[in-house]
Amino acid sequence: MVLSGAGISTESGIPDYRGESGSLRTHTPMTYGDFVGSESGRQRYWARSHLGWRTIARADPNDGHRAVAALQARGFLNGVITQNVDGLHGAAGARDVIELHGNLDRVVCLDCRATSPREELDRRLRAANPVFEAEATRINPDGDVELPDEVVKDFRLVNCTNCGSPLLKPDVVFFGENVPKTRVERCYQLIDEANAVLVLGSSLTVMSGFRFVRYAAKAGKPVLIINQGHTRGDPYAAHRVNLPLGQALTTLTDTLG
């Protein structure tokens, strides 16, 4: 099975978090506590994400995503787990992808739990902010961008159409928030059913992905890592490759035929 991280999407124009040009060097992601505890925090997030989501929504799958879909179609993979929220594995044709941290294309109300398409929220935010003009200077893997405070302060929020709550949130796992238990259990099940785990483009710094590598290694399943740069899972890896993912995965699929 495959476990992928932000590094597989860099060739689609979406930066990673911790690489040489990773966004965490200059960007502090929104935390769950800040989002639910502060209207100004939600205003800041939605103003910035309103622009950033459009960039991610326009991104196309790259050779790495297409290679994963091809490996699955040929029967080499029993499943795909991704830490990414950009939906590019599915867009490339991969089936039944477990989106560990959710997907920016969905919105959830934290009060009534109703979900809706991001396109719908985008239309409502455009209507509420008809003269909102800004240029995104940097897109981050979480769909956030950098914007000056003077641009953010006049951005108007909208409420849930189902219950009127102001707590609308992208259906993604923020920093400080837990991955749903049922989703985690499904990931462990995939590892149990697999012969090996292939990690693609993840530093495995956060426990949400690292625990699966550690679990697989403890079960005696080979862990193979393709990533540019050190990863937390390196001590558990049977093989480690330091190459761009598009190049490495295209070579792999060509070799397997």
Catalytic positions, written as ranges: 101
Note the maximum CA span of the chain.
58
16 labeled binding residue: yes
- 25 marked as binding residue: yes
Q: Binding residue per annotation — 211?
A: no
Any binding-site annotation on 24?
Answer: yes
Q: Taking Cα atoms as reference points, which of 44, 59, 48, 177 lies closest to residue 108?
A: 177
Annotated binding-site residue? 245: yes
Assigned token pair, 114:
């109703």
Check whether 11 is labelled as a binding-site residue. Answer: yes
Residue linked to tokens 């189902």: 162
187 labelled binding-site residue: no
Angle at 40 between CA 130 and CA 33, to 5 degrees: 130
User: What is the Cα–Cα distance from 35 to 43, expressed in whole angstroms?
Assistant: 9
Residue 197 labeled ligand binder: no
Residue 208 assigned ligand-binding role? no
Look-up: residue for tokens 């495959």?
Answer: 2
Angle at 31 between CA 25 and CA 32, to 5 degrees: 165
User: What is the rounded distance in angstroms from the CA atom of residue 68 to the CA atom of residue 63?
Assistant: 9
DSSP state of 70: H
Give the bridge partners for 197, in sequence order.
Answer: 223
On whether 87 is known to bind a ligand per the annotation, the reply is: no
242 known ligand binder: no
Give binding residues for Zn(2+) as ranges.
109, 112, 160, 163
Give binding residues as ranges.
5-25, 83-86, 109, 112, 160, 163, 201-203, 227-229, 245
Give binding residues for NAD(+) as ranges.
5-25, 83-86, 201-203, 227-229, 245
